[in-house]
């Protein structure tokens, strides 16, 4: 609860009432006057993330449903927020946008983007027309952290080794599991480097450019320092330091599309969905086939990634690549310093990654944004130009130190300080960056990161397929035989069925259903444009299926396109035509035969 204490004792009784409300009284002239105040300039641990989700849920109970989809290895809940307006229909009839973050425990700012997205959608519903429409048309599934064990380990500990989840792995093959993690001996919350001053006998020296930095001496010279490795102790007495910390696998390689064993893909574990967190997420996704968009936030580098993760999988079919390119290229315009790239060719090869599974295994358009790019420290053209000058204090090698000193007031860099080490004697420890520097933005820049990335995901959500039956016409051929034209439109970028999903059968095909008491469908075909077809009639291929009252459309409805179904029907009364897609919703049109 974030109610402020007031010094006026007389208000204490009123405060009792205020506690029942999840927000402070609105200030009249504020713009906007938000119901729930959240902070996006600091990093939240698991409990705080969950508490903020509970506050949001309490403030917007009509739209928000908070539930746990399962437990992590250490027993933490995987909290899912569902955003749906029940007044516009149940979840299952709407295309769903699934957003998650933090599969790598140390990649924490995505959690804040998730929280920001829930908050922003709710605070702006009814205030902003676009947001209102989006919330009415779509459903959002948001899991701020899918690796709470890794997240909490990162937040509580020195920050190293937190990419993994916490299913124990015997990293050093000694039959013991996770028995020798890194330690913070001097208790400052950081695992530091250790150096020893050995005048004229070392192989390192103080950098000429920056007294905080050590640099190796040139060939043939001697320095004053040697490095003695990382802070830590040999917990298991095997002669090795910090060789078996918690977990040590990659939770983003445990997914069953192009999954490969450990020797091909490091960190894959022994079989897909071995990890309880991956299993819980997969079970949720399988139970929600309406999900048509996925975003999995990572850090770092400023990327809008799509699959395939490995070259051997093969580039996506052209219609799919076209939809991805449209979204990704607009994403680049919304996210300065982010590049839209394919994982294997632009980043590195990934086998068994999450978004490979959601695209290849589930037929969902999927992106993974690598949040934050170091280019964003100094963004103006003038400063970029100045960075070209190696003697500038913001030249690439120096810029982090400059930024830390003047914009973060020395918050992030740990300077060398003397320490009496139990094994090495008098040494100095330091020379490292704290865990919040580098992969996450400076705290004061996080809200912009949250907003821009949310905007991209909302754009993706808006471009999920949405089926409409716009126009229907009936034309009498003779007797009780009619030609019925029904225009099927998907005004969005994404097709109702991805071409790859159609090839592999991972999404239920779309269905064109015809109902009518006395109606028989004699023949059916589809034309790309009714107008062109009427001006210049051409022979169209007939639908080669037996049951024409339930036509399977495996390749779905393309994006940004209207096609016309042409049904030759025999009968009387009225005909109801329904286009039913799993990811683009369902639409019907009834016409009278006359």
Partner 1 sequence: MGAASKGTDVTSPLCPFRANPPKEVGVRRFLTGFHRPAALLPLLAVLALGLASGPAAAQGPAGYRDHAALTKAVQALANANKAVVRLESIGRSAGGRDIWALEIGGPGPVPPAQRPALLVAAGFDGDRLAGTEIALAVAGILAKAPASEATVYVLPRLNPDGAEGFFAPLKTGARTNREPYDDDNDGRVDEDGPDDLNGDGLITVMRVKAAGGEYMIDPEDPRLMKRADPKKGETGSYRLYTEGIDNDGDGFINEDPPGGIDLDRNFAHEYPYGQPGAGPHMVSAAEARALMAWIVAHRNVAAILTFGGSDNLIVPPTGAGRLGPARELDLVRFADTAVAAARAAGFIQTGGAMGRGGRMMMGGFPFEMPGGGGRQAPRAAQAAAGSEFSRFMMPDRKPATTVAPGDYDFFKAVSDKYVETTGIRQPLCVREPRGAFFEYGYYQFGVPSFSTPGFGLATAEPGPARRPAGGAPPDPGAAVPPVQAGRGAAPARQTGAAGGGGVGGFGQAGGGGPAPAAAAAAPGIDRQVLKWMEAEKIDGFVPWTKVKHPEFGEVEVGGFKPYAAANPPADKLAGLGQAHAEFAAYLISLFPRVRAASFEAEGLGGGLYRLRAEVENTGFWPTALAQAVTARSVKPTMVQLGVDPGAVVSGSPKTSFVQTLPGSGGRAKFEWLVKGKPGQAVELVVRSEKGGSATARVTLK
Sheet of 214-216, strands arranged across? 214-216, 204-206, 223-230, 193-202, 425-430, 417-421
User: What are the phi and psi torsion angles at 378 (to 5°)?
Assistant: -125, 100
Among 212, 238, 487, 515, binds partner 1 (CB under 8 A): 238
Cα 91 to Cα 96, 133, 526, 594, distances in angstroms: 8, 15, 30, 37
**Cβ nearer to partner 1, comparing 3 with 555:** 555
483 neighbors 475 (Cβ within 8 angstroms) = yes
State how far the Cα of 21 lies from the Cα of 23, in Å rounded to an integer: 6
Among 311, 389, 411, 475, binds partner 1 (CB under 8 A): 311
Name, in order, each residue with C-beta under 8 angstroms of 586's C-beta and a sequence gap of 6 or more: 93, 467, 578, 579, 580
State how far the Cα of 466 lies from the Cα of 579, in Å rounded to an integer: 11
Question: What's 565's DSSP letter?
Answer: E
Among 294, 440, 499, 575, binds partner 1 (CB under 8 A): 499
Among 18, 240, 472, 522, binds partner 1 (CB under 8 A): 240
Q: Which stretch binds partner 1 (CB under 8 A): 19-27, 115-123, 321-329, 458-466?
A: 321-329
State how far the Cα of 266 lies from the Cα of 273, in Å rounded to an integer: 15
State how far the Cα of 413 lies from the Cα of 432, in Å rounded to an integer: 6
Nearest approach, Cβ of 539 to partner 1 (angstroms)? 7
**Cβ nearer to partner 1, comparing 101 with 548:** 548
Query: What residues numbered 137-176 form the site for partner 1, per CB under 8 A?
Result: 170, 173-175
**Cβ nearer to partner 1, comparing 318 with 388:** 318
**Cβ nearer to partner 1, comparing 100 with 510:** 510
**Cβ nearer to partner 1, comparing 125 with 357:** 357
519 neighbors 573 (Cβ within 8 angstroms) = yes
Q: Pattern 253-292, binding to partner 1, x per CB under 8 A?
A: ---xx-xxxxxxx----xxxxx-----------x------
Does position 444 bind partner 1 by CB under 8 A?
no
Does position 544 bind partner 1 by CB under 8 A?
yes
Does position 348 bind partner 1 by CB under 8 A?
yes
Kindly state the tokens that stand for 283: 């079970």
Nearest approach, Cβ of 362 to partner 1 (angstroms)? 9
Size of the site for partner 1 (CB under 8 A): 85
Nearest approach, Cβ of 503 to partner 1 (angstroms)? 5
Query: What residues numbered 546-565 form the site for partner 1, per CB under 8 A?
Result: 546-547, 551-556, 558-561, 563
Q: Which stretch binds partner 1 (CB under 8 A): 151-159, 192-200, 396-404, 503-511?
A: 503-511
Strands (E), 121-165: 139-143
């Amino acid at each position: 609860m974030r109610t402020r204490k007031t010094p006026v004792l007389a208000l204490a009784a009123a405060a009792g009432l205020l506690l029942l409300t999840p927000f402070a009284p609105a200030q009249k002239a504020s713009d906007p006057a938000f119901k729930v105040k959240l902070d996006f300039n600091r990093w939240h641990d698991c409990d705080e993330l969950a508490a903020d989700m509970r506050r949001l849920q309490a403030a917007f109970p009509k739209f928000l449903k908070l539930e746990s989809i399962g437990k992590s290895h250490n027993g933490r809940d995987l909290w899912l927020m569902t955003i749906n307006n029940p007044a516009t229909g149940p979840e299952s009839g709407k295309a769903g946008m699934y957003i998650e973050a933090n599969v790598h425990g140390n990649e924490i700012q995505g959690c804040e983007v998730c929280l920001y997205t829930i908050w922003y959608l709710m605070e702006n519903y009814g205030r902003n027309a676009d947001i209102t429409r989006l919330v009415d048309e779509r459903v959002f599934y948001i899991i701020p952290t899918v690796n709470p064990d890794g997240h909490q380990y990162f937040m509580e500990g020195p920050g190293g080794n937190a990419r993994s989840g916490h299913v124990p792995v015997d990293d050093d093959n000694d039959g013991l599991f996770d028995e020798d993690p890194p330690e913070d001996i001097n208790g400052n919350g950081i695992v530091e480097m250790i150096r020893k001053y050995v005048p004229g006998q070392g192989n390192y020296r103080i950098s000429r450019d920056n007294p905080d930095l050590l640099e190796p001496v040139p060939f043939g010279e001697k320095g004053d320092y040697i490095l003695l490795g990382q802070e830590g102790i040999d917990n298991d007495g095997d002669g090795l330091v910090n060789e078996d910390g918690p977990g040590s696998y990659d939770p983003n390689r445990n997914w069953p599309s192009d999954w490969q064993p450990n020797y091909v893909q490091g960190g894959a574990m022994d079989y897909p969905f071995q990890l309880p967190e991956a299993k819980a997420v997969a079970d949720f996704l399988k139970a929600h086939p309406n999900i048509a968009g996925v975003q999995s936030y990572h850090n770092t580098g400023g990327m809008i990634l799509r699959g395939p993760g490995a070259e051997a999988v093969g580039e996506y079919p052209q219609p799919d690549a076209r939809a991805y390119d449209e979204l990704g290229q607009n994403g680049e315009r919304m996210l300065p310093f982010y590049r839209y790239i394919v994982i294997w060719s632009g980043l590195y090869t990934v086998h068994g990654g999450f978004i490979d599974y959601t695209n290849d295994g589930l037929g969902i358009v999927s992106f993974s944004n690598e949040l934050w790019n170091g280019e964003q420290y100094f963004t103006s053209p003038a400063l970029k130009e100045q960075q070209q000058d190696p003697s500038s204090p913001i030249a690439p090698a120096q810029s982090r130190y400059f930024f830390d000193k003047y914009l973060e007031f020395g918050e992030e860099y740990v300077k060398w300080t003397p320490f009496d080490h139990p094994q090495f004697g008098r040494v100095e420890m330091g020379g490292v960056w704290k865990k919040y520097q580098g992969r996450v933005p400076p705290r004061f820049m996080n809200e912009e990161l949250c907003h821009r990335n949310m905007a991209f995901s909302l754009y993706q959500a808006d471009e999920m397929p949405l089926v409409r039956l716009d126009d229907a016409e009936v034309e009498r051929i003779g007797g009780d035989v009619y030609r019925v034209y029904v225009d099927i439109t998907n005004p969005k970028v994404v097709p109702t069925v991805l071409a790859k999903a159609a090839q592999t059968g991972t999404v239920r095909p779309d269905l064109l259903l015809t109902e009518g008491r006395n109606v028989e469908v004699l023949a059916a075909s589809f034309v790309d444009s009714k107008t062109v077809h009427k001006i210049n009639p051409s022979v169209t291929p007939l639908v080669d299926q037996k049951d024409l009252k339930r036509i399977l459309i495996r390749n779905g409805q393309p994006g940004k396109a209207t096609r016309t179904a042409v049904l030759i029907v025999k009968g009387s009364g009225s005909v109801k035509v329904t286009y039913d897609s799993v990811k683009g919703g369902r639409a019907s049109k009834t016409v009278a035969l006359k």
